[in-house]
Amino acid sequence: MTTQTKEIIKYTLKIDRHVGWKFSADAKNVDFDEWIYCKTADKKVVRLFFLTNRDVPPKSFIDSRGNFYAFFKKDQYIYCLDLLRNERPVWAVLSPNDGNICLKSGTEPVGEGPGEF
């Protein structure tokens, strides 16, 4: 399966305690406190989970409906949130073969400062 890219257009923050969730064979016994529910331009969902019990997150994956399930270390929450709040467009890029996920912004000019548009 090839790398898939989805533009994130809306997001909702979720802060609640979950223990021992199973998402897939690789992602079982997953604990998390924070997660971000994102809607995409093609009406799919990207779920970003920030794990409290793993040094190495499990592989991210795409479900049968084309939705992304992405796993990060807990300390990456603030960086993902900052990107979603301050950048546009934001893209989620997932490689199903190895489970790697990244969030990225659109191209911006070097040295852009406040009030310079």
Tens of pLDDT along 20-64?
Answer: 999 988 899 999 999 999 999 999 999 999 999 988 899 999 999
Assess if residue 110 is contained within a domain. no
Which pLDDT belongs to residue 109?
80
User: Residue 62's Cα: distance from chain center in Å?
Assistant: 12
Measured CA to CA in angstroms, residue 92 lies from 5, 40, 41, 87 at distances of 6, 9, 11, 13
Q: Please say whether the beta carbons of 62 and 96 come within 8 A.
A: yes
Assess if residue 112 is contained within a domain. no
Residue range 78-104: mean pLDDT, rounded? 95
Assess if residue 113 is contained within a domain. no
- Tell me: pLDDT of 117 over 60: no
Residue range 2-25: mean pLDDT, rounded? 93
Rounded to whole angstroms, the Cα distance separating 23 from 17 reads 16
Assess if residue 76 is contained within a domain. yes
Percent of the chain whose predicted confidence (pLDDT) is above 70: 95
Amino acid present at 49: F
How many domains are contained in the chain? 1
Which pLDDT belongs to residue 12?
97
Assess if residue 83 is contained within a domain. yes
Assess if residue 53 is contained within a domain. yes
Name the strand (E) or helix (H) holding 91: strand 90-95
Assess if residue 93 is contained within a domain. yes
Domain that holds residue 56: 4-105
